[in-house]
Chain A
């Protein structure tokens, strides 16, 4: 169940849509799903490192974000990544922020 909205099984996110005709997704089989999930976590961590927050998959079904003090939150839907990460970071994460753009360019 989603920890924010109480909806069961809500992680049908556009980045990894349920496989169906005409829809582009890498959520096609177990191997592709796990591989893409790992890439997604790595890509998110490149951004989150700007605020010293880290993301990990948790038991293959959920995510956990943690901050530098060790505080952490578990959530199920990928759509909740940024709100949860900002809460733990204590600050917003803005992709149009010059400092974040410079951070990403330097990586």
Chain B
């Protein structure tokens, strides 16, 4: 299977600059890069003119509208060339436009009848501009969605930002996506090339720096975005969980930016990790052992306009469990 890394980030957040640096890295020598332009001029193409023939430039404009067909076509074309021995690569990086929601690309990889046999999700990397991100998060749902979908967040332009503002931005990013690792500088290259630990990042510690606990955080009152966690003391029935989550995502997936959890499944010794973006659920990971800390199930959601308490009630009722607590 060929790993596909999705590089996303808001307009002007440094995706192309990062790609330029990446393409000189020896670790990227066997990578195919798909670039999607947004705008009238193929500026990114000129910036990246050192790339060899494996780079495919899509001049279609906004990926939001066209990604399902075009990314699939581009990947099929790459796979076809690879099968014929005309090119060789062992990973793909897709740079999305600044306004793209990563979910459609992930869904394409997951659902396409041919692609899903050749390509696998290698993670979502989101560039975040240290100078402008705080304002973008307040006003643009796309920026929040991109951060929420990230497995790694790459903080860019830290040299231009006020040093004192960076801790506050990191705290904001942590609230939007508590489980994503935030990296800067050379770690950013490693995050894409794959030299960082590929294991699932830890679930968040719910303790606030001041020692208090909260069961949900308001991230943006205008957008109604909150993060919400709950713990489950009892063992979870896998079948009931599947029914509940599929129904919740069917009805409200558009407003669930991200979810992640670790579950103590009835009849299983080892924990199971689940995670997904909007309507998409990745294949559940059967973990080798429990991480440090209490061995209780925990679920974390990043929601837009949904009532966390209603989700807790629904989960408890569908699962027939009594010991479901909003983390408090």
Complex Cα spacing A95 to B310, Å: 9
> In the complex, are the beta carbons of B243 and A44 less than 8 A apart?
yes
Would you call the interface of chain B mostly helix, strand, loop, or mixed? Answer: helix
Q: Establish whether residues B281 and A14, one from each chain, have CB atoms under 8 Å apart when the complex forms.
A: yes
Report how far A94 CA is from B247 CA in the complex, Å. Answer: 7
The yes or no answer to A56 lying at the interface (CB within 8 A) is no
A93 within 8 A of B: yes
Closest to B238 in A: A26
Verify B314–A96 contact, CB threshold 8 A: yes
B240 at the interface (CB under 8 A from A): yes
* A48 → B minimal CB distance (Å): 10
B38-64 vs A, CB cutoff 8 Å, 1 = contact: the mask equals: 000000000000000000000000000
In the assembled complex, how far is the CB of residue A14 from the closest CB belonging to chain B, in whole angstroms?
A: 4
In chain B, residues 210-248, which have Cβ atoms closer than 8 Å to a Cβ of chain A? 237-240, 242-244, 246-248
A-B contact count (CB 8 A): 88
Which residues of B (56-93) have their CB < 8 Å from a CB of A?
Answer: none
**Which of B243, B283, B285, B307 has most chain A Cβ within 10 Å?**
B243
CB distance from A94 to the nearest CB of B (A): 5
Range of interface residues on A (Cβ < 8 Å): 35 or more
Query: Which residues of A have CB within 8 Å of B285?
Result: 22-24
B26 at the interface (CB under 8 A from A): no
Q: Which among A9, A26, A96, A107 is the interface contact of B310 at CB below 8 angstroms?
A: A96
A104, B317: Cβ atoms closer than 8 Å: yes
Residues of chain B in range 291-328 having any CB-CB distance to chain A below 8 Å: 306-307, 310-311, 313-314, 317-318, 320
Q: Which residues of chain A from 90 to 105 have any CB-CB distance to chain B below 8 Å in the complex? A: 92-96, 100-102, 104-105
Known: A82-B251, A94-B251, A96-B248. 7 other contacts (CB 8 A): A23-B284, A23-B285, A24-B284, A40-B239, A47-B243, A82-B246, A101-B317
Taking beta carbons and an 8 Å cutoff, which residues of B are in contact with A? 111, 113, 116, 237-240, 242-244, 246-248, 250-252, 265, 268, 272, 274, 276, 281-286, 306-307, 310-311, 313-314, 317-318, 320
The 4 closest A-B pairs by CB, nearest first: A15-B242, A24-B286, A104-B317, A82-B250
7 A-B pairs (CB sep. < 8 Å):
A10-B111, A20-B283, A26-B238, A40-B239, A78-B246, A96-B311, A96-B314
